[in-house]
Amino acid sequence: MISNLLKKDFVLSAHPTLYMFMIIGALVLVPAYPYGMVFFFGCLGLYFSTLNGRENNDIFYSAILPLDKKDIVKGKCLFFITFELIQILITTLIAFIKISFIDSPNNDVGIECNIAFFGFGFIIYSIFNYIFLTKIYKSSYKIGIPFVISLIFVVLAIILMELISHIPYFSWIDGIAFSDLQKQIPILIIGFILFIFINILTYKKATQNFEKVDL
Amino acid sequence: MILKVENLSKEYPKFKLNNVSFSINEGEIMGLIGRNGAGKSTTLKAILNMISISNGTIEMFDKNYKQNELYCKSNIGVVFGGIDYYELKKVSTITSITKKFYKNWDEKLYRTYLETFNIDSSKRIKELSAGMKVKYQIAVALSHNAKLLILDEPTSGLDPVSREELLTLFMYLAQTKKISILFSTHITSDLEKCANTITYIKDGNLIASMEKTKFIKHFQYLKTSPTEPDLSLEEIMIKNERCSYDF
């Protein structure tokens, strides 16, 4: 069932840009760039795909399949999570190659693509999923306003992540030295735990909202 | 009993579907009639749990629908007018996803129906004619052995030849395959040809639900004079719904 739900979204409702944004992690190869944009583009790709689904009456198509409302929400949540995990995995591989084999100077613009960066990435995606998904399932057709609201919080989180690397006290957050990377591990763990819990909460809340919606 | 709807009610701020009850047996074609906005689509959506209901129960295949939604949905085919989803995708792509959700999908049967209905699976949905879109959805429903077809205005917007073809298909499915069909329409002439029973909804209220000949006989009291010929379904509806405007 889960693989069918995912296949439905990746084949039918995924907007072509989603696949482009899946490999947008290549931006970490740019020597000086706000790498937080990787997550911003990820949110944008998910928004385009949700919009594409709405314009193609995905909710109606799903509603006549042997699925209940809970499954419809579950499918969408899993679609978001799967995309985000794939994008983070691809970005991790590119970051690993960059740090290990490409001799590039430190990113002066913002945070380096290190362990803390991916921890923050999980937190940013958790914020986006919770606000966007719980709000779109309040109506099933209002997508623009939920995106704007979620984006405000996502952008604030990205700015915070990029700024923190400039504060001397938190310089270890921006580092790629082994000792700095070791210190950053708790951020990744906390980010990933939050990602799991907030997504469970997102699914529950979005399901509750969608149950009240008349299609 | 294939479908039993009891006291179905749904309240909107400006519309109320009020205690609608009817039932459908195996191999029966029921026409759900009423003018635009009478509550036909609301009734069908309420049956399919697409909208929450204020009151009432729905039993499908002798099971409570809400508690057995997945089982019931696996055994029905739903056609809401034409296909207005994923119109730029190819028929084959939509089918490749749709069939994954049905355990009892019969690929051989699906190919046979595509051939019978002359549907080219390499075409995009938007390239199919209105009649072909309905036939494609029926082909999908039949390929997972649906026992009940729920059709909302399937013949609206079709040319007379396509309508006739569909009605013949409905009669074949009901008589030969014992498939039950719940068919909402405001084109009453379609029902004269193929329906066994008629359920009539006016302003959200159930006016009557009975066997077609009984239904027609019941409403003959609307005749303006005893010498007037028997009223058809269309005339019955018009006489019931007629209103005048003061300008």
The answer to whether residue B233 is domain-embedded is yes
State the total domains in chain B. 1
pLDDT at A158 over 80: yes
The answer to whether residue B178 is domain-embedded is yes
Cβ contacts of B113 within 8 Å, gap of 6 or more:
B119, B138, B139, B142, B143
Average predicted confidence (pLDDT) for chain B: 89
Task: Find chain B residues with C-beta within 8 A of A66's C-beta.
Answer: 70, 73-74, 101-102
CATH number for B96: 3.40.50.300
The answer to whether residue B36 is domain-embedded is yes
- DSSP state at residue B231: P
Q: What percent of chain B has pLDDT over 70?
A: 97
Residue ranges of domains in chain A: 2-211
pLDDT of residue A168: 87
How close A82 gets to chain B, by Cα (Å)? 18
* Residue from the list A12, A212, A214 with its beta carbon closest to the beta carbon of B86: A12
**Chain B residue with Cα closest to A53:** B86
Asked if B101's CB is within 8 angstroms of A64's CB, the reply is no
The answer to whether residue B40 is domain-embedded is yes
The answer to whether residue B246 is domain-embedded is no
Name the residue range of residue B158's domain: 3-241
pLDDT of residue A95: 92
* Distance, CA of A49 to CA of B115 (rounded, Å): 34
Instruction: Give B141-179 pLDDT, tens digit per residue.
Output: 889 989 999 998 888 878 888 888 889 989 999 999 999
Selected for mutation to probe chain B from A3, A65, A210 (highest B CB count within 10 Å) is A65
pLDDT of residue B185: 87
Question: Would the CA dihedral through B107, B108, B113, B119 be positive or negative?
Answer: positive
Higher-confidence residue of B242 and B228: namely: B228
Task: Find chain B residues with C-beta within 8 A of A211's C-beta.
Answer: 52
Inter-chain Cβ pairs, chain A and chain B, closer than 8 A: 59
| ipTM of this complex | 0.86
pLDDT at A107 over 70: yes
Asked if A123 and A196 count as a contact pair (C-beta separation under 8 A), the reply is: no
Selected for mutation to probe chain A from B70, B85, B94, B149 (highest A CB count within 10 Å) is B85
**Chain A residue with Cα closest to B72:** A66
Residues 101-120 in A contacting B (C-alpha not used; CB under 8 Å): none
Q: Which of B144, B132, B154, B61 is nearest to B106 (CA)?
A: B144
